[in-house]
Amino acid sequence: MVSMTSQPLDLETLNAIATMVAQKRSVDAVLGTIVESLVEQLDVALSRVWLVRPGDICTVCRMRDECPDRSRCLHLVATAHQQRNPDSGDEWHRKDGFYRRFPLGIRRIGWIAKEGQSLHLSDTAEDDEWFARSDWLHKEGVRSFAGHPLVFDDEILGVLAVFSRCPLNEREFAWLRGFADHAAVAISNARAFEEIQELRRQLELENAYLRDAVDNEGTFGDVVGQSAQIKIIQDQVQLVAPTDAAVLILGESGTGKELIAREVHRLSTRKDGPLIRVNCAAIPRELYESEFFGHAKGAFSGAIRDRPGRFEAANNGTLFLDEIGEIPLDLQSKLLRVLQEGTFERVGEHQVRRVDVRIIAATNRNLEAEVSAGNFRQDLYYRLNVFPIRVPSLRERVDDIPLLA
C-alpha cells in the first residue's frame, strides 16, 4: 500500500510521470511505475493495468463461463492502492484476486480492451450497479472511474484503469487518455528492450558453447562414404531431419555418431538455431544438474554468478546428448521432466523456465539391456528412442576405407 498523501491531477504531473515511465527498461518496472505513480499523485483508491496475454488458468478462472475465447484474455499485471481501512481484512487490492483475469469483451474492462475505446464514469453513485462490488465503492469512497485502452501501433496491449475518490472531469479524463498512450509506448519499448537483451544473452551463450566445442573437439566435415550402410543412414537422416522427433544414434565409439547428429540438425527446420553438444560421460556427478539446467548465484560454493545451462543454450535449436547412457539413474527423472514438459528450474532458483529444444542422443551402450538391468529408466528410453539410427563400424563397411583414407 502506498502513502495516503495525494496531489491534484494536472497535465504537468502526468507529463512528469510519463517521463519517469519512459526511462524504465524492464516491463515490470514500467508497469509498477505507472500504477504507483498515479496512486501517489491522485486521490485514487485503486490504479490497475491489465495486459492481453494467452489464456493460462482457464480451468480455475472464475470468469471461464463468461469467456467467449479462451485462447487469450486480460491478465492483471500491476496494481496499486490507497486503502482507507488497512485492518478491514478485505483483499480487493490483490493482484491474484478475483479480477486477475478478464475475458475480452466481457464487462467494462473487457469491453475497453476489445473495442479499443475509453470509458468515463463521472459519478459512480449513479452507476454503482455496473460494479460487481458496489459495497466496495461506498466503503472506499470511490466517486469516478476512468478506463483507457493501451494502444501501440494499432495493437491493443491492454487496459489502464483508475478508480478515483474525487470526480474526474472531462479535461482530466482526456489527460489520462494521453497518458495511457505514452504508457503504451513505454510498455512496447520495454518489451523490445527485453527481447533484445534476451537475444544478446542467447547469442553470447551460444558463442561461448560453440567456442568451447571448437577448442575441445575440432571441426568436423560431412559424412564420408558410399557403402550401402551409409546410404541407408542418409535416407534415414533425410526422413527424420525435417521433423521434431527425438533421434537416438547407436553405435560403437569412433563410428561418427556426432557427424550424424550434425547432419540431422543441418537438414532440420532448426538449422538456424544452435546445436549444443553435451558429453554426458565427462560431467562430474555433482555437476549434472548445473550443466544441464544452469544455476543461480550462490546456489553452491563457487557459484559466483548466474549461469545458464545447456538446455537454455539450445533453446529453439538442438541439444545433442552424447553418451546418454552415462547419466546416473537418480538424475534421469529430472531429464525426463524437461523432455516431457519443456520446463525446468536452475539449481538454487524457483523460477520455472520453458525451452523449445529438439533432442538427439547417442550411446555406445545397449540401452535395452541397461533398462532390463535397472540402470536406465524405461520411460526415458522410450522418450529418446523415437527414431533410432544405427551407425555401423568401419569393419562393417570396408568399401568406404579408400574414401576415408
Q: Could you give all domains of the chain from N- to C-terminal order, each with its CATH number?
A: 11-194 (3.30.450.40), 220-404 (3.40.50.300)
pLDDT category at 2 given cuts 50, 70, 90 is: very low
From CA 197, how far away is CA 215, in angstroms rounded?
Answer: 27
pLDDT at 101 over 50: yes
d(CA 223, CA 200): 33
| Cβ-Cβ contacts under 8 Å for 200 (sequence gap 6 or more) | none
- Which residues lie across from 249 on neighbouring strands? 362, 389
pLDDT tens sequence across 232-278: 888 999 999 999 999 999 988 887 888 899 999 999 999 988 999 99
The DSSP line for 2-13 is --S------HHH
pLDDT category, 3, cuts 50, 70, 90? very low
Q: pLDDT tens, 164-200? A: 888 888 888 888 888 899 899 999 998 888 888 877 8
Residue 352: which residues within 8 A CB-CB, separation 6 or more? 343, 344, 345
N-term to C-term CA, the chain: 76
Cα 231 from Cα 228, distance rounded (Å):
5
d(CA 220, CA 258): 9
DSSP annotation of 2 reads -
